[in-house]
Amino acid sequence: MLTLTRNVYDEIVDHALRDHPIEVCGVVLRRPHEDHTARVVRFRNTAQSPVFHEADSRDLYKVYRDMAERQEELHIVYHSHTASEAYPSAIDVELAQEPSAHNLIISTAPRTFLELRSFLITDGVVAEEDVHIMEGRRAARVSPPKRGPAAGGPS
Ligand SMILES: [Zn+2]
């Protein structure tokens, strides 16, 4: 299960909407097990594509340096799908490199607008997990009922 603070959720939604129809990508960092320290870092998508994202290498370098300095962990890796549902594409699965990170996808496609789903991806195996948003002390479930990928184009 993945729990997001309202601030983190709002920031990811804002990022995805701001650049739509270009895909966005970024990460959420935090000190281990301390949700209140979570912070969103937006990456520039050097591909500037509606179907592909590639994080700017300077942004990546800076994030890894800052993480070491601040003793943070990579909590979430997120990106948007601007023309399809929030389910990992074959390329997403292939490129997933952080087995311990939650892979969050937010859809800004009209049919699945603001669908937010999270996955653990290990050695090509995709496992969906529930997503909850903390509202004060209460957590509300936001992920839709479990289902597989619908037929659709690449993203
Ligand atoms: Zn994707």
DSSP letter, residue 135: E
Cα-to-centroid distance, 99 and ligand 1 (Å): 16
CA-angle at 37, arms to 4 and 5, nearest 5° = 20
* Residue-range domain boundaries for the chain: 2-141
Q: Which CATH superfamily is domain 2-141 in?
A: Cytidine Deaminase, domain 2 (3.40.140.10)
Longest CA span, the chain: 44
pLDDT band at 140 (very low <50, low <70, confident <90, very high): confident
pLDDT at residue 148, as a whole number:
56
* The pLDDT of residue 66: 96
CA 95 to ligand 1 centroid distance, Å: 10
User: How many angstroms separate the alpha carbon of residue 56 from the centre of ligand 1?
Assistant: 16
Q: How many angstroms separate the alpha carbon of residue 136 from the centre of ligand 1?
A: 31
Task: Tell me the pLDDT tens digit for each residue of 16-53.
Answer: 999 999 999 999 999 998 988 999 999 999 999 999 99
- Integer Rg of the chain from CA: 15
The tens digit of pLDDT for each residue in 111-136 reads: 999 999 999 999 999 999 999 998 87
The sign of the CA dihedral 62, 18, 4, 138 is positive
- What spacing in Å lies between the alpha carbon of 12 and ligand 1's midpoint? 15
The answer to whether residue 153 scores a pLDDT higher than 60 is no
Q: Return the DSSP state at 21.
A: T
Q: Ligand 1 mean position to 115 CA, how many Å?
A: 13
Which pLDDT does position 154 carry in this prediction? Answer: 55
Ligand 1 midpoint to CA 89 (Å) = 5
Paired with 39 in beta bridges are 29
Helices and strands (DSSP H and E) totals, the chain? 3, 9
CA of 66 to the centre of ligand 1 (A): 26
- Residue 129's nearest CA partner among 144, 114, 107, 139 is 144
Ligand 1 centroid to residue 137 C-alpha, Å = 31
Nearest-angstrom CA–CA distance, 75 and 13? 17
Query: Are the CB atoms for 94 and 53 separated by under 8 Å?
Result: no
| 73-81 and 25-30 strand pairing | antiparallel
Q: 88 alpha carbon to ligand 1 midpoint, in Å?
A: 5
Cβ proximity of 60 and 73 under 8 Å? no
